[in-house]
Amino acid sequence: MHRNWGQVFVGSLQARRIAALLVAALLAVLAGCSGSSSGSSPDDAAGTPTGTPTPAPAEVTLSLADGAVDVSPITPLEVTVASGELDDVTVADDAGTEVAGSVEPEPGDPSTVVWTPETELGYGTSYTVTATAANASADETTATSTFTTVTPETLSTPGIGPLDGTTVGVGMPIRVFFDEPVADQAEVERHLLVTSSTPTDGVWNWVRDDEVHFRPSTYWPADSEVTLEADLYGVDFGEGVWGEKDRTISFSVGERHVSVADAAAHTLTVHDGDQLVQTFPMSAGDAENPTHNGAHVVLEKFADITMDSSTFGLAVDAPGGYRTDVQYATRISNNGEFVHAAPWSLADQGVRNVSHGCINLATENAKWFYDFSQPGDVVEVVNSIGGTLTAADGDIYDWAIPWKEWTAGSALS
């Protein structure tokens, strides 16, 4: 049989009070039967034992004042009792329908309990909480408070990456995307909880006002499980925006695939865990279109794709413009950088940099890398004459940010 803890808790209080009253009554009967040679005192005639003080009435205090408005639906409903024991707590909506819930003692404060609903209270709704307690004489005291939950101007449910149930590489940060800039970033961040099977020192960073990322100081531990609990229902984002619902996503971090594209040595070295598995000759971006330095993250793959310079502002018919069909293209940034097959630059691979910013490989090498790679794998570009990845290069430039600067980007830092 399963019992509601809150019902057991309140019921046990009632049982102790009733037992105390029965004992008191039995003692009174025994005292009356014993008689007295000195006769009865005025207090005895009145029915109250001589010298017994009248118990103080129970005091019941509710955490929400009567008439409170704009209350978050996840605000704890606390009941504190003095000079008595709690008998019952009920919460009803504005139609008078009782809301199912339970009470638990406040840790460290035995005089206070917290009422918790089985399902969340709603937005824009009036509720009445009623609490009853009794003193040692079983005299009851009742406290009542009616409050109204907030009516949001806008409800927001952010997008989250990686997707639930996916497997990613060790470089994939957790990304949370909001519909609009978040005014109270600290309050939102407090409700984003990340846990992993291998603990990390990960921290959130608001890369934009409407986007926050989470990563450890170094890449994720391989072969680990990660969960994000975004408990945002009832959370005030600020400026009239509130969280619409809670979301939980879990993903796996797969094998450690970290490659190094050395633009000076013209080589792409590929590691699977701690083992070097491939060294490919390559050609990186030329002097006018250098590949960006820094840790790039694999985002997606295309067996066949048409690359068009107009997608980054250079017309196809302009000097240096192009429109080319490419095989085995592995995207490593959102600024147009890929690792892909380039049979037209075979003579340059391993010798000089001639691309428009991509990593050029022989077709068979590009296919091997395409088959090997998964979203979240890392390609570290080094020794390029270009700058380092920044926000201008797209969504994921997280590993190019020094750790001290990264942690400073938390709203809770």
The pLDDT tens digits for 183-195 are: 999 999 999 999 9
Q: Are residues 40 and 87 in the same domain?
A: yes
The pLDDT value given to residue 317: 67
User: Is residue 410 in a domain?
Assistant: no
CA distance 166 to 131: 47
Give the CATH number, domain containing residue 36.
2.60.40.3780
**Comparing 162 with 34, which gets the higher pLDDT?**
162
Q: Are residues 240 and 111 in the same domain?
A: no
User: Is residue 407 in a domain?
Assistant: no
* Domains in the chain, number: 3
The pLDDT value given to residue 315: 74
User: Is residue 296 in a domain?
Assistant: yes
- Among 90-99, 271-280, 366-375, 390-399, which is the least confidently predicted range? 390-399
Indicate if the pLDDT at residue 333 is higher than 90. Answer: yes
Query: Sorting pLDDT into bands at 50, 70 and 90, what band is 39?
Result: very low
What average pLDDT does this structure show over 316-339? 86
What average pLDDT does this structure show over 158-169? 98
CA distance 161 to 299: 11
User: Is residue 18 in a domain?
Assistant: yes
Indicate if the pLDDT at residue 293 is higher than 50. Answer: yes
Q: What percent of the chain has pLDDT over 90?
A: 79
- What's the start-to-end Cα distance of the chain, in Å? 48
Active site residue 2: no
CA distance 219 to 199: 12
Indicate if the pLDDT at residue 28 is higher than 80. Answer: no
Give the CATH number, domain containing residue 307.
2.40.440.10
Q: Encode pLDDT of 99-143 as tens digits.
A: 999 999 999 898 999 999 999 999 999 999 999 999 999 999 999
Q: Which helix (H) or strand (E) holds 62?
A: strand 59-62
Q: Are residues 144 and 243 in the same domain?
A: no
- Which of 148, 176, 201 finishes a domain? 148
The pLDDT value given to residue 324: 86
What average pLDDT does this structure show over 320-339? 90
Q: Encode pLDDT of 374-402 as tens digits.
A: 999 999 999 999 999 999 988 899 999 99
**Quick count: other Cβ atoms within 10 Å of Cβ 311?**
10
Q: Are residues 243 and 305 in the same domain?
A: no
**Quick count: other Cβ atoms within 10 Å of Cβ 230?**
22
Q: Are residues 310 and 223 in the same domain?
A: no
Q: Are residues 265 and 206 in the same domain?
A: no
State residue 341 phi and psi, 5-degree precision: -70, 135
What average pLDDT does this structure show over 327-341? 96
User: Is residue 191 in a domain?
Assistant: yes
Q: Encode pLDDT of 222-258 as tens digits.
A: 999 999 999 999 999 999 999 999 999 999 999 999 9
The pLDDT value given to residue 53: 82
The pLDDT value given to residue 311: 67
Name the residue among 164, 161, 214, 212 with its Cα closest to residue 188: 212
Q: Are residues 238 and 286 in the same domain?
A: no
Q: Are residues 273 and 394 in the same domain?
A: yes
Q: Are residues 326 and 244 in the same domain?
A: no
User: Is residue 64 in a domain?
Assistant: yes
Q: Are residues 95 and 122 in the same domain?
A: yes
- Which of 254, 270, 303 finishes a domain? 254
User: Is residue 142 in a domain?
Assistant: yes
The pLDDT value given to residue 37: 35
Supply the range of the domain harboring residue 28.
Answer: 5-148
- Which of 124, 148, 172 finishes a domain? 148
The pLDDT value given to residue 76: 95
Name the residue among 355, 387, 381 with its Cα closest to residue 269: 381
Active-site residue, from 213, 296, 340, 356: 340
Torsion sign across C-alpha atoms 397, 398, 399, 403: positive
User: Is residue 406 in a domain?
Assistant: no
Asked if residues 363 and 337 have their Cβ atoms less than 8 Å apart, the reply is no
Active site residue 33: no
Q: Are residues 242 and 184 in the same domain?
A: yes
Query: Sorting pLDDT into bands at 50, 70 and 90, what band is 50?
Result: low
- Placement of tokens 């996840």 in the chain: 74
pLDDT, the chain, mean: 89
**Comparing 315 with 217, which gets the higher pLDDT?**
217
Q: Is the pTM of this model over 0.85?
A: no
Asked if residues 113 and 9 have their Cβ atoms less than 8 Å apart, the reply is yes
Q: Are residues 82 and 160 in the same domain?
A: no
Query: Sorting pLDDT into bands at 50, 70 and 90, what band is 322?
Result: confident
Active-site residue, from 257, 266, 292, 358: 358
